[in-house]
Amino acid sequence: MKHQADIRPSDAELAVAARGGDCACLGVLLERHRARLYAAALGVLGYGPQAEDAVHDAFLIALRHIGDLKEPQAVVGWLLSILHRCCLQQLRRRRREVLTAEVPDRPDDGPSIEERLEKVALREWVWNALGKLPESQQATAVLRYFGSYHSYEELAAILAVPIGTVRSRLSEAKRKLAEMLLETAGGVDPDAASQSRQHHRFYDEVFRSFSRPGEYDRHLSHFAEDLHLVRGGDRAVFGRSFLTQEIRDDHEAGVLIEPQRIFGTGNISVIEGRFCNPPEDPFHCPPGVAFVVVRRSGQAKRLHIHLSPRSPRIDDD
């Protein structure tokens, strides 16, 4: 009898099923690598809304193009390539909706998005998902992705709203569609969901303990003695002692850390939180912080710290 861990589908198997139109398997695949993709986006764009937007963009482009994937065993590299392009588009401040952007090195002189979605049998899922959006977002998204008018100016004229409203509605619709796609993973890979919950509880306790004297010492052993610590644009340093000193400095300054979003899979976990500064020094730390933890053999070997003037949104991941 096979152990449960042995029967979990591989990335290639999920990609083949998704390519055949199984949206749940595409959701599993994206959920499995969401933390890795987000960590990569943080490395390019820093902590802020652009990194999260780039990941959502990559999800939706993958939804559009999964039927064209020719090498299922290379699906992770394919996803990272899509993400890299999305990050570059964010950096270049391109003004068009990236759902129409192409998979790297694949020119789009072929079928429309509707025809592509029919080809991979995912069109029904997209229509059902669009139907769950608020009416204003639904109308904007349907016009944008399935209508004959594609420019923001034309959509604004049709809907009689400012161009900025069109942009904000499409941005929110894109985020919700990406979240619905991830939700399809829950019933297919319960083992991964259970592991994710365990990591959530563990890291919530670890990072909250950093603000409590006498408690963080027992969690520091989770971080390797030769920890690779990267903080923003600063030069990387090696050694758990640097993390220990950062924790002590924040504690002495009266700064608290409150984790608010924790997610991950495999060997990567992302912890988003906010700093609570003391009343006498309200600007000691910026409000937002993201930690990217990379594990090896159950121990954290790399830790990336990204600071932001923006606190993370709170939701249930």
Quote the tokens at residue 137.
Answer: 């977002």
Report the 10 Å Cβ neighbour count for 255: 18
The CA radius of gyration of the chain, in Å to the nearest whole number, is: 21
pLDDT per residue over 59-115, tens digit each? 888 877 787 788 888 899 999 999 998 888 878 754 444 444 444 444 344 444 444
Q: Return the top range by mean pLDDT from 87-91, 195-199, 242-246, 288-292.
A: 242-246
Tell me: pLDDT of 180 over 80.
no
Q: Could you give the residue range(s) of every CATH 3.10.450.50 domain in the chain?
A: 190-308
Written as one string, the DSSP assignment of 84-143 is HHHHHHHHTT--S-GGGPPPTT----S--HHHHHHHTT-HHHHHHHHTTS-HHHHHHHHH
CA dihedral (69, 71, 72, 75) in degrees, to 10, reads -70
Under 8 Å between Cβ of 270 and 55: no
pLDDT per residue over 269-316, tens digit each? 778 888 888 889 888 888 888 887 888 888 999 888 877 776 665 544
pLDDT at position 196 is: 67
Q: Confidence band (pLDDT; 50, 70, 90) for 192?
A: low
**4, 185, 188 from 192: Cα distances, Å:** 11, 9, 9
The pTM of the full predicted model, rounded to 2 decimals, is 0.59
Report the 10 Å Cβ neighbour count for 43: 14
Q: Confidence band (pLDDT; 50, 70, 90) for 179?
A: confident
The CATH code belonging to domain 190-308 is 3.10.450.50
Instruction: Return the DSSP state at 221.
Output: G
Average of pLDDT values for 249-272? 79
pLDDT at position 80 is: 92
pLDDT per residue over 138-161, tens digit each? 777 776 766 545 677 877 877 778
Alpha-carbon span 271 to 290, nearest angstrom: 6
Alpha-carbon span 31 to 195, nearest angstrom: 12
Tell me: pLDDT of 226 over 90.
yes
pLDDT cut 70: percent of the chain above it: 74
Q: Confidence band (pLDDT; 50, 70, 90) for 222?
A: very high
Tell me: pLDDT of 227 over 90.
yes
Strand order in the sheet with 288-296: 237-238, 223-231, 299-308, 288-296, 268-276, 256-265
pLDDT at position 199 is: 81
Which helix H or strand E contains 299, and what residues bound it?
strand 299-308
